[in-house]
Amino acid sequence: MTEAVSEQDGPRPARRARVLVVDDTADVRFFLVALLRDDYEVEAAESGEEGLQVALSERRPEIILLDVMMPGMDGYEVMRRLARDSRTVDIPVIFLTALSSVEEEQFGLDLGATDYITKPISPPVLLARVRLHLERSANAKRLKTLSEQLSRYLAPQVYQSLFDGSRQAEIQTQRKRLTVFFSDIKNFTASTAQWQPEEVTFLLNSYFEEMSQIAAEYGATLDKFIGDAIVIFFGDPHTLGPRQDAVQCVKMAVAMQQRMAELRQRWKAMGIPKAFEIRIGINSGFCDVGNFGSNLRMDYTIIGREVNLAARLEQAAEPGGILISRDTHDLVQGDIEVEEREPVIAKGFSEPITVYAVRKTPAPSAAAGVIQCDRPGLRLELDPGRLTPAQRADAAAELRRALDSLEPAPQAGASAAAPASVPAPGADAGTQASRLAAVQAADMAGAGDETLPDSIAGINLTVGLSRAMNMKGFYISMLRRFMDGRADTPVRIREALAAGDLKAAELLSHSLRGVSAQIGATQLPQDAEALEQALRDSAPREGIDELLLRMEDSLGELMEALRSALPPPDPVKSP
């Protein structure tokens, strides 16, 4: 059962961080929720399966406190699944466990846990680490957001090389053999002179978005946008070799012309009658590439004669056409079909330039796997091959919402009850939250008038009280919960042993050890740990029975001491 804990009444200046507590022991959940709820929005789950479900829900936690030893899916398996899922991989996880060996701690950290706290839990340490890891996580998210925003101003390859350290942000250039691409939209400025700025912006941005995606698919370095023109090159910072760079560039240009045909259809359907066409020029040769500018402001770009020639070829190309130079033709010959054209007289070049036109490839009506539909009230184009896994998940969610909107509206008078799989607002979760908050408040209020004895046999009250933040009422409520919920542990262990379930018996011993240590018990945690270790090692049954009897005696003595020291609670104040 997942327990959602409501916030205190009254307005909050800002949303509080969400903390998920996953522990199969009710006393530990009670303790952690009571400890955290004043500062955080806390949700508690009693099993690994439920904890994972909450972590993957829309109300995703910002930090998870995760018990290791739980029946069914243990904390290690939960951690593995969190680390494999892109939605949860960045959530900090603090393991909470009575397992204190260095090997266990290293194993948890190797799985991806952020921290490791051993039971019994020190409240100041827990609160400090939760606060620390929430701050670190928030800072990491801010840096990630900032880096993602900055990446939009850089070519992906340049961004990656800067962040992985293979390139430094310093004034430095080198001479490399590149293939350079120029394109622009024919007569775009004149055709849009009477348009509103918002219309021009929309058209250009939709065009740049499509062309940029294609450039990324072919591994291009997108240099810059100049008005409606695009400058791209292949060969730096990553290269497939001069020949393959040139082939990729020309194939990219063909794909862009085909995508432009699709864009024209889309714009026409939106009421834009002008049939815009792009011209493309491509040239290959040695260029200077690198960071140009100053230490205050630099630009990663290319300069040189070959760059200028690519720009001149773009100006000489026919609308909808692709012109390539002889150097590029020599590199792509055999891979790309071309037609030789009349030499071009280019400004700044003394000799006519030999050029070739790339033969047009008819654009398919729909590529394999592409779903297209265009009818009144429904326009859909879905190309799964162009989507990243995260984009596919978003697209699936959008399509599900679209399908839901097509469901017929409920008839008048029909039941408006929420489906069984979706709790109605204010039901289950809200009821659980109110119930849990009421129980905790009543527990501590009921203990508020009691006096903590000077001593209780089998308990170090100084240690136990410190683990309850020195709140006597809260500590007394923890002692009472221990009395009410732990007396039958030996019986349950014997039942597990009779069924041959050593793991269940081990978990029961482990849970008793952690909870008894949390309240400051002295002998019982040691006896429970000895039994737990014997069960983990599959020791002979005679030895296990002997250790179980010893633990049972310690538990019985502790229960008797608690009953003598703490009178029965006032029934009027009991929840």
3-class SS letters over 435-479 = HHHHHHHHHHHHHCCCCCCCCECCECHHHHHHCCCCCHHHHHHHH
Residues 114 and 198 in one domain: no
- CA distance linking residue 542 with residue 175, whole number of Å: 80
Within-domain flag for 159: no
Say if 421 falls within a structural domain: no
Q: Residue 434's closest CA among 572, 574, 571, 575? A: 575
Please identify which residue in the block is written with the tokens 């009178």.
567
In terms of domains, do 180 and 136 share one?
A: no
**Averaged confidence pLDDT in the chain:** 83
504-531 tens-digit pLDDT:
999 899 989 989 999 999 999 999 999 9
Give the pLDDT confidence of 124-168 residue by residue, as tens digits.
999 999 999 999 999 988 988 887 777 677 666 666 776 666 666
Last residue of a domain, one of 344, 362, 380: 362
Residues 180 and 109 in one domain: no
Query: pLDDT value at position 173?
Result: 78
Same domain assignment for residues 20 and 126: yes
Helix (H, G, I), strand (E, B) or coil at 490: helix
- 462 in the same domain as 336: no
Same domain for 338 and 471, yes or no, is no
Is 291 part of a structural domain of the chain? yes
Decide if 83 contacts 111 (C-beta within 8 A): yes
pLDDT band at 4 (very low <50, low <70, confident <90, very high): low
Say if residue 71 is exposed, middle or buried (CB neighbours under 10 Å; 0-12, 13-18, 19+).
middle
Q: Is the dihedral of CA 532, 533, 534, 539 positive or negative?
A: positive
Tokens 């001491």, residue located: 561
Residue-number span of the structural domain to which 547 is assigned:
445-565
Predicted pLDDT at 164: 66
pLDDT of residue 412: 46
Identify whether the C-beta of residue 58 lies closer than 8 Å to the C-beta of residue 17. Answer: no
pLDDT of residue 425: 34
Average pLDDT over residues 315-336: 94
* pLDDT band for position 54 (cuts 50, 70, 90): very high
Find all residues with CB under 8 Å of 78, minimum gap 6, and list them.
22, 48, 51, 52, 66
Q: What is residue 384's DSSP assignment?
A: G
Q: Residue 346 — very low, low, confident or very high, per pLDDT cuts 50/70/90?
A: confident
Q: What is the pLDDT of residues 352-407, one digit of tens each?
A: 999 999 987 654 444 455 676 655 567 677 777 667 777 777 787 788 777 777 76
* Cis, peptide link before residue 120, omega less than 30° from 0: yes
Same domain, 73 and 109: yes
Residues 196, 132 share a domain: no
Q: Report which secondary-structure segment, H or E, holds 497.
A: helix 489-498
For the chain, the distance separating the N- and C-terminal CA atoms, rounded to the nearest angstrom, is: 20
- Burial of residue 488 (number of CB atoms within 10 Å: 0-12, 13-18, 19+): exposed
Radius of gyration of the chain (CA): 34
Residue 241 in any domain: the answer is yes
* Helices 156-163 and 123-151, axial angle in degrees (round to 10): 140
Which of 115, 150, 185 terminates a domain? The answer is 150
Query: 384 in a domain, yes or no?
Result: no
Q: What is the mean predicted confidence (pLDDT) over 80-106?
A: 87
Task: Give the pLDDT score at 190.
Answer: 81
Closest to 131 (Cα-Cα) out of 229, 65, 201, 217: 65
- Residue-wise pLDDT tens digits, 281-299: 999 999 999 888 887 777 8
Which of 6, 1, 2 is closest to 434 using CA atoms?
6
Residues 186 and 299 in one domain: yes
Nearest to 354 by CA among 375, 393, 326: 326
Read off φ and ψ for residue 158, nearest 5 degrees: -70, -45
Residue 572 to residue 575: CA distance in whole angstroms: 8
| Number of domains making up the chain | 3
**388 within some domain:** no
pTM score, whole prediction: 0.55
Q: 8 and 63: one domain?
A: yes
pLDDT of residue 3 exceeding 70, the answer is: no
CA-based nearest residue to 207, from 271, 283, 277: 277
Residues 320 and 451 in one domain: no
Residues 89 and 79: their CA atoms lie apart, in Å, by: 9
pLDDT tens, residue by residue, 182-214: 999 988 888 888 788 888 888 889 899 999 999
